[in-house]
Each structure stands twice: as structure tokens, then as C-alpha cells.
Amino acid sequence: MSHVHSAPAPVLAVVNGVPTTTTHDIARVYGKRHDHVLRIVRQRMAECPSDWCLPNFGEASVELPQPNGGTVSYPVIRLSKKGFHFVVGKFTGAKAVQHQIAFADEFERMEAELARRAQALLAVPVAAPALPKPAIRRREDLSFARHDKNGHWRNWSVEPRCRQWEDGIERGEAFFREVAELAAHDEDEAYDALRFVFGRGWESATNGTSEWSTSHPGEETGFARALARAALDGLRARRAGAESFDPDHQPKPGRPRKDGFKHGAQGPSALVH
């Protein structure tokens, strides 16, 4: 009774994005001595043009385990799919054909896997680069200022949307950072933006006309201008390295904070616009 022994399966490796095999693996699958396969490959390499040989053959080495332990490095030649078929075309016999088909299938399987991975990478959405924030060089660049339909400036054109005290403070401080950026470029523009924020300036009336607002605290022109000048003086000092004023700097326990709440107490739960 005869027994059919299946040959070892080919083992390929991807080198620089190309599926390859080695003379050692060819010898293992075909059941040949490695030195014989190595000699045949070198003979075939000598027969082909160098510009075709270089991308399809390469000197390499493999670490092989030894019976008594440890490993030994053996020189091998690494072959591409083209190099492999160029060499084994000289092998004959029914088993040689079976081995060649097994290698061909493995090369095809690995090429398909590489193509699948490349396609998967192309399918991954790439986030668009964040657009640079526009520089603030004029009052028109401020996010909280705009013209009304009558052409007058409305500096505090902000829709109420904050419901927590801390959110409102953070949003307001972001507005002031815009003014600070504007002041570093053009103090006159920043001065106008600040004094009309404090004094409100022109507002759109309900009848569609524009009128000078006198219904908010700080509407007196001299007071608004003084506050604007003081703010610009402070911004100058800050740009020169002065330490920022902190109204909440570690007050004593129980001592009222500058905002009117006792130290440690929570502020109002909603920001009133």
C-alpha cells in the first residue's frame, strides 16, 4: 500500500513591498539540497541581463536552527515571482510541476493580500487640514462686531447662547483675545472697538432705523473712552511682559471675592445677557 506524502507548503516574505521566496525555501519544498539549488540559481543569474537580474534576485541570509541548539546563518538568494519562475522552469517531473503550481498560488495569494491592504488604506478618509484662523487686523474681523442693515456698527452683535456662568466667562475672554490681537496690529482700531463695546454705540431700533443707544450701563462717552484707553494701556503692558491682574487671587476664607460672591461659592447658574 503506497502512501502519498504532501509536500511542505511554500513560505513567502514581503520585501520592500514585493512577495519573495528564497533558495532555501525552494530546496525545502522541492526536496533538493540547498547547495544544488543555490548553484542552479547562480547559473541562471549569469544568463540574464543585469538590469533584469538586479530587481529579481538578491543576496541574503537566513538563520537556521541547529539540532544541538542555537542557530547558524546561511547565505541564500532571495527571488521575486519572476525570478522564481525563471529558475524553476528548468526543473522537470510531475512533482516539480506540482511544486511550481503551489508557489504560483502562494505568490498570487500574497499579491491579492497586498492589493487588499493598499485598497483599505485608500478607503480611510483623510481629515482635511484645519484652515488657518484669519488674522484680526480690522474691526470688521472681530467675531462680535458687524454692520447693521443701516450701515452702522454694532459692536456687541452676539446671540445669547451661554447658560452656564463659566461658559459665558470663557466666551467673553475669547472675544477680548480678539481685541488683544487687533491692538497688537492697530491700536486705533482696537480703541474704537472697545469704546463702542462699553458705550454700545449705534443700535438698530425696532422700527428699522438706527439710534444712539443710551439704555445700557457705561453709555457715557467719556467713561467708555477712559475704559478703552485703560484697556489698551493694559494690553501694552502685557505685551511688554507685565503680569496679568487676577481678581480672584487666593482671597482669605470667607472674604468676598471681587465679583461679589464669597470665596468658594459658586457663581450664578445662568449668564444673563
Say what the pLDDT of residue 244 is. 77
pLDDT band at 272 (very low <50, low <70, confident <90, very high): very low
> 121: buried, middle or exposed (CB in 10 Å: 19+, 13-18, 0-12)?
exposed
Average pLDDT over residues 61-80: 90
Eight-state DSSP code of residue 155: S
- Domain count of the chain? 2
Does residue 64 lie in a domain region? yes
Distance CA 168, CA 40 (A): 80
Same domain? 37 vs 101 = yes
pLDDT in tens, 189-241: 878 777 766 655 444 444 444 444 444 454 466 777 888 888 888 888 888 88
Model confidence at 44: pLDDT above 60: yes
| pLDDT per position as a tens digit, 142-155 | 777 766 666 665 65
Residue 269, in any domain of the structure = no
Find the domain containing 21 and state its range: 13-116
Residues 193, 142 contacting (CB under 8 angstroms): yes
What gap in Å lies between CA 216 and CA 236, rounded to an integer? 28
Last residue of a domain, one of 116, 148, 172: 116
Whether residue 148 contacts residue 204, with contact meaning beta carbons closer than 8 Å, is answered with yes
pTM here? 0.45
Of the segments 36-45, 173-182, 185-194, 242-251, which one has the largest average pLDDT value? Answer: 36-45
**145, 72: one domain:** no
Ranked by mean pLDDT, which of 123-127, 187-191, 253-257 comes out on top? 187-191
